[in-house]
A and B are shown apart, each in its own frame.
Chain A
């Protein structure tokens, strides 16, 4: 283990120690190693940025997850307009078809009325609706 650490790039070892920097995980010897590495302004600036990232990563990740969830729920405005348009067109076609079918049915019934007066006819229906 020690040999692997010795072969490590100093930056890599520094990063590894920062990741392990927890009194439950890191050893006393490694704490000393990290403290010695920090005896350099560049490394101290690196620690500051690394801790700024690590210290605010939780909030950033949580915010990112909320944004992703909102993105899933929020409809794409362009898609939304298309859906509304198609739905509207679909309902218009359906309503026209139903109306045409009704007109045809009543027209045929009206024609049949002369032969079979008991059938509900177009004119009879209007009479029924308009009569007091």
Chain B
């Protein structure tokens, strides 16, 4: 198969799996812009890899591995964080997360889950949507969201967690 066809076919798979890669990267780093940069860099590295005449055995796992390395490189630059990027606990967590995504199968029906998510978000009250948007669209830190809402950081975490949980249950119910 010519290289251009291989890249085209890899691009189709990449686009199809993008929401899962996005979930993986954004789950580990909360900065949306940094996450988008990592996803784009992953694609560039994948196309370079294919152009060099190689083909990954499992493209989704290859992309996740590349994204993981890019995340670790990014974390190395932020040494002041509360948790060290190379702590044993962090490495164990990353391994568990990798396993979780390796286990993603057809039964997940990610496209149905995303459609259900749209329906569930539409049902949320405006105030809840604004709170979620501050965290997931604007990417504000918890301390800033808590300050804006006049709540404690712990109460903000609880509110956001409950909203996420409500969405989780709603999506699960709609796709079960």
Chain A residues packing against B (C-beta within 8 Å) = 12, 15-16, 18-29, 31-32, 34-35, 38-39, 41, 44-58, 60-65
Contact A57 B93 (CB under 8 A): no
CA distance in complex: A57, B84 (Å): 27
- Which B residue sits closest to A67, measured CB to CB? B122
The answer, yes or no, to whether B164 is at the interface (CB within 8 Å) is yes
CB<8 Å pairs between A and B, sample of 9: A16-B161, A20-B142, A23-B78, A38-B99, A38-B100, A39-B96, A53-B113, A56-B117, A58-B139
CA distance in complex: A65, B122 (Å): 10
CA distance in complex: A44, B161 (Å): 17
Instruction: Determine which of A15, A22, A52, A61 lies in contact with B133 in the assembled complex, contact meaning CB atoms within 8 Å.
Output: A61
Instruction: Determine which of B23, B101, B113 lies in contact with A54 in the assembled complex, contact meaning CB atoms within 8 Å.
Output: B23
**Given A44-B99, A53-B164, A56-B19, do A31 and B93 touch, yes or no (CB 8 Å)?**
yes
Contact A53 B167 (CB under 8 A): yes
Could you say which residues of chain A place their CB within 8 Å of the CB of B103? 41, 44-45, 48
Contact A15 B136 (CB under 8 A): no
Instruction: Determine which of B92, B113, B136, B137 lies in contact with A35 in the assembled complex, contact meaning CB atoms within 8 Å.
Output: B92
CA distance in complex: A39, B100 (Å): 10
The answer, yes or no, to whether B61 is at the interface (CB within 8 Å) is no
**Given A32-B92, A44-B103, A51-B23, do A64 and B121 touch, yes or no (CB 8 Å)?**
yes
Contact B137 A55 (CB under 8 A): no
**Given A19-B157, A52-B23, A65-B133, do A57 and B100 touch, yes or no (CB 8 Å)?**
no
The answer, yes or no, to whether B15 is at the interface (CB within 8 Å) is no
CA distance in complex: A16, B155 (Å): 11
Contact B23 A15 (CB under 8 A): no
Instruction: Determine which of A12, A27, A35, A64 lies in contact with B129 in the assembled complex, contact meaning CB atoms within 8 Å.
Output: A64
Interface string of B66-102 (1 = CB under 8 A from A): 0000000001001001111101011011001101110
The answer, yes or no, to whether B46 is at the interface (CB within 8 Å) is no
CA distance in complex: A24, B137 (Å): 18
The answer, yes or no, to whether B38 is at the interface (CB within 8 Å) is no
Could you say which residues of chain A place their CB within 8 Å of the CB of B28? 21
B94 CB to closest chain A CB (Å) equals 9
Could you say which residues of chain A place their CB within 8 Å of the CB of B100? 38, 44-45, 47-48
Contact B82 A27 (CB under 8 A): yes
The answer, yes or no, to whether B104 is at the interface (CB within 8 Å) is yes
CA distance in complex: A54, B92 (Å): 22
Contact B19 A55 (CB under 8 A): yes
**Given A16-B158, A24-B141, A56-B19, do A51 and B92 touch, yes or no (CB 8 Å)?**
no
CA distance in complex: A6, B134 (Å): 29
